[in-house]
Structure 1
Amino acid sequence: MIGARVGMKIALITSWATDISGGSGTALFFQSLLRGLQGRGYDLDVIAPNFDVSDYFGVTMQRIAFNARLPYDARIRGADVVIGLDWDGYGLDPSQRPPMIASSHAVYGDILQWESGEVATMVKAQAYFDRLMMHNAEVITIGSAYAADRIAALYDVDRAKIEVIHHGMIAQEWLKLVDAEPKRPHDHPIILSVGKMYPRKRTDVLLRAVPLLLDKYPALEVRIAGDGLMWDEYHRTAAELGVMDHVTFLGHVSDDAAFAREWRMADVFCHPSSQETFGYVYLEAMSIGKPIVAVRAGAAPEVIADAGRLAEPENPAALAAELDFFLGNERARAEYGARGEQRAAMFTHDKMIDGYDRAIARAVSGRKRG
């Protein structure tokens, strides 16, 4: 196998951010895939413009223009295999390009149900490109069976064309610092939530659960790390609920030591997202033994299994009940934290790259048969 890899040239394409310090799960995947394939002996040509993704509308237009130029990129014509993240590469003519893998992450057709207004228009356009990419590629890879089923249903793609490859990840600096960060005693329960503020992440459900917990935990603090399109709306929601004294909006925490400190202080991690195609944040929480409350939606049941508590989605009362299970029970927190560490050990970086080894071989052999 090693001999087959050495010298094989792969064009790895993404028009999304590649810097993991921005908090993007897609960027973390990209870096994990890049380093893993390089470690296996592949020759990688990275085609990544690294646009500023803070302006969602502007970057979407830049990504479309970038894809329009891709057919003229000599690095693609000189590659043995192309791997395009999400819809990057949708316009490449199969008769003029090498075998291609569509490495899907967002599944824009699935995201669309949570969006509205101008954002929905942008997402709908990307869902169209997503569909073209899935039909164009020889092989599709995705991080969960949930997402594979959604791709097949939404885009009318043969399910057998899709390879489910659970994610693994490279060691991030902040993760190394969590154990080094002293556990500071605190006299009140702390819930941590981490994620981009997109509608599908459902941070509002967590905010609506807070008032339901205050009678039992009057000093409760919810700390929310992340920024995004819903920043102002979530502040308004917290104010309307009268819980601003119990909620700290941290924004994006770029300092590794500060981010590690947030994880170390937290008693419980909560991520009530209704749509994750894998959810690196679950893997991060499990790897440091943090008890998780999530919901029975998206890839969460598949990734977390019995290593966390899963509430009914879109239900603040159900979420509050699962949070209460941990907040009032130190023994349960320790038990589920240990389960999480065991579960996280199943999602290794090596296993992920093994999956991409197989997908690359399948794409090449599929083109030869064709």
Structure 2
Amino acid sequence: MAAGLIVTSWPLGLGSGSGTAMFIRSLRRAVEAAGHAVHLVNPALDAADYVQFTLERFWFNTQLRDDPRVAGAAWILGIDYDGFALPRRAGQPFVASARAVFAELAPTEPDPFHTLLRAQAFFEGHNLRAADWVTAPSEYARAAVIHHYGVPPERAVTIPNGVDLAAWDAHWRDLPEPEPGRRPTVLAVSKLYPRKKIDTLIRAVPRLRRRYPDIDVRIVGGGFEWDAWRRLAEAIGASPNLTWLGDVDDRRAVVGEFKRCHVFTHTSVQEAFGNVVLEAMASSRPVVAVDAACLPEMIRASGGGVLVPPDDPPALADALAGLLEDAPRRAALGRAGRAFAETLTWERAAEHYLRLLTS
């Protein structure tokens, strides 16, 4: 049987590649576990300079048709706009998976990122409209690709991401139990991009500190705003209560951060799917998320957290403080989130993808 092909120009390091990297790696493992051979086409690109990185992603796509694995593939799964220059072949299903929805991202970022995101949206739209099927990880993202790119609704399918609970729980068991008397701890796991709005969390810290002087707000992730947001923290006096951890590729270390926190928060105003929110739920940790993009969909479906308005540091601070002082409510939200996470597995996602890829 010919192998399928996953095509992506996105970095697959768990720190640098974020949720999309987790999706690709996890889905590939699940598809292979179901008995299907999968090849991965993923160029080694340096993402440090976003302008150069984006141009190299475009160039990679123009050269992709010369890759000998393309013609012989049983099916092709293209991520975002990857595969836009490939000819569509009869008998070779092409599924495009919208992980970013660049048309939604562009308004949230300043130049030069805004212009580059608009260019990527152009190619993403072309890729999705030419696909046999289009997948999105949330109803929010599905509606966005239909609206922005004119994808026919009957060809757009929602397939939520999963979480590998067996691996997650194994790490959890191997880690020491956190000290019961540890500092009140809030965790955020996020790339430091403007749309992620970690500055909202930073601005919430002084208000939080009035009720919890020793609060520890821990931030996993790096990105373009690293220097600017650290300067902001210094300027408003929030630095003593912030722990900046940068990108973390060690999965066990990430699980450890979830285990030590009391509450998880996610302040992003644009997410196709909140992978880190699902991981917080897998950890039985309550979530405070902003009422934007896919996040209300996840919170309402799970019952595992609370919503606050976007860009509202006082509301965020009050919601976090309210959960920190209410252990029974934290536990109840955590249980609801864990039950929801148990329904979303990569095996289930792989079954849905294989139905499309082999149809």
Change (3 A) 1:187 1:103: closer
* 2:201–2:313 Cα contact (<8 Å) kept: yes
Taking a change above 3 Å as real, the CA distance of residues 199 and 268 of structure 1, as seen in their structure-2 partners, is same
In 1, the alpha carbon distance for the partners of 2:75 and 2:17 equals 28
2:311 is the alignment partner of 1:317: no
In 1, the alpha carbon distance for the partners of 2:230 and 2:296 equals 29
Secondary structure class of the residue paired with 1:270: strand
User: Which range moves more in the overlay, 84-93 or 316-325?
Assistant: 316-325
**Deviations for 1:193-239, whole angstroms, at most 9, x for unmatched residues?**
11111111111111111122222222222111110011111112212
Instruction: Note if 1:176 corresponds to 2:170.
Output: yes
Task: Measure, in 2, the Cα distance between the counterparts of 1:296 and 1:134.
Answer: 27
1:346 correspondence with 2:340: no
| Matched residue SS, 1:84 | strand
Could you say which residue in structure 2 is the equivalent of 1:239?
Answer: 234
1:129 paired to 2:123: yes
Contact 1:163 1:359 in 2 (8 A): no
Matches of 1:275 and 1:55 in 2, distance apart? 22
Once the two structures are superposed, residues 328-356 of structure 1 have per-residue CA deviations (whole angstroms, 9 ceiling, x without a partner) of 11111111111111111111122101110
CA distance in 2, matches of 1:354, 1:251: 35
Q: Is the 8 A contact 1:304 1:343 kept in 2?
A: no
Q: Do the aligned residues in 2 keep the contact of 1:192 with 1:262 (CA within 8 Å)?
A: yes
Structure-1 residue corresponding to 2:249: 254
Structure 1 window deviating more from structure 2 (299-308 vs 256-265): it is: 256-265
Identity of aligned residues (%): 35
Distance 2:235 2:90 in 1: 56
Select between 137-146 and 306-315 the one with higher mean Cα deviation: 306-315
Q: Aligned pair 1:59/2:53, yes or no?
A: yes
What amino acid does structure 1 have at the position aligned with 2:74? D
Name the residue aligned to 1:109. Answer: 103
| Counterparts of residues 64-103 of structure 1 (less than 5 Å) | 64-94=58-88, 98-103=92-97
SS, match of residue 224 in structure 1: strand
Deviation larger for 24-33 or 71-80: 71-80
Note if contact 1:76-1:97 (Cα within 8 Å) is conserved in structure 2: no
Aligned position for 1:293 = 288
Alignment of 1:212-223 (within 5 A): 212-223=207-218
2-structure distance, mates of 1:347, 1:314 = 29
Q: Which runs of 4+ in 1 moved over 6 A?
A: none
Query: Cα deviations across residues 64-94 of structure 1 (Å, max 9, x unaligned)?
Result: 1110001222211111211111110011122
> Following the alignment from structure 1 to structure 2, what is the Cα–Cα distance between the partners of residues 315 and 155?
31
Q: Is the contact between residue 5 and residue 70 of structure 2 (CA under 8 Å) also seen in structure 1?
A: yes
3-state DSSP class of the match of 1:214? helix
**Structure 2 alignment gaps of length 5 or more:** none
- For residues 6 and 256 of structure 2, the distance between their equivalents in structure 1, rounded to whole angstroms, comes to 34
Is the 2:76–2:357 Cα contact (8 Å) retained in structure 1? no
Change (3 A) 1:73 1:258: closer
TM-score by length of 2: 0.94
| 1:86 partner amino acid | D
Aligned to 2:220: 225
Q: Distance in 1 between matches of 2:207 and 2:162?
A: 36
Q: Is the 8 A contact 2:286 2:334 kept in 1?
A: yes
SS at match of 2:187: strand
Tell me if structure 1 keeps the 8 A contact 2:266–2:289.
Answer: yes
TM superposition shift of 1:254: 3.4
**1:152 equivalent in structure 2:** 146
Q: Cα offset for 1:110?
A: 0.5
Q: Is the 8 A contact 1:227 1:251 kept in 2?
A: yes
1:14 aligns with 2:8: yes
**Which of 31, 37, 40 is the matching residue for 1:43?**
37
Tell me, in whole angstroms, the C-alpha distance in 2 between the residues paired with 1:350 and 1:302.
22
Structure 1 letter corresponding to 2:163: M
The residue type equivalent to 2:265 in the other structure is: C
The CA distance in 1 between the partners of 2:203 and 2:258, in whole Å, is 22
Q: Does 1:284 align with 2:274?
A: no
Task: Point out the more displaced range, 101-110 or 38-47.
Answer: 38-47
1:166 paired with 2:160, answer yes
**Which 10-residue stretch deviates more, 321-330 or 143-152?**
321-330
- Encode CA deviations 1:101-153: one digit per residue, 9 max, x unaligned: 00110111111111111111211111111111111111101100100001111
How many pairs does the alignment contain? 356
Letter in 2 for 1:249: W
Say yes or no: does 1:360 pair with 2:354.
no
Structure-1-length-normalised TM-score: 0.91
Q: In the alignment, is the contact (CA less than 8 A) between 1:173 and 1:256 conserved in 2? A: no
Matches of 2:237 and 2:169 in 1, distance apart?
A: 34
- Of 94-103 and 156-165, deviating more is 94-103
After superposition, what is the alpha-carbon deviation per residue over 1:245-298, rounded to whole angstroms, capped at 9, x for unaligned? 111111123344443332222111111111111111011110111111111111
Distance 1:100 1:184 in 2: 50
Please identify, of 95-104 and 341-350, the stretch whose mean Cα deviation from structure 2 is larger. Answer: 95-104
Q: CA RMSD in A?
A: 1.9
- The alpha-carbon distance between structure 1 residues 68 and 171, as it changes in their structure 2 partners (threshold 3 A), is farther
Letter in 1 for 2:14: I
Q: CA deviation at 1:182?
A: 1.9
1:166, CA displacement in angstroms?
Answer: 0.8
Whole-angstrom distance in 2 between the partners of 1:189 and 1:103: 39
- The amino acid that maps onto 2:141 is A
Measured after TM superposition, the shift of residue 327 of structure 1 is 1.0
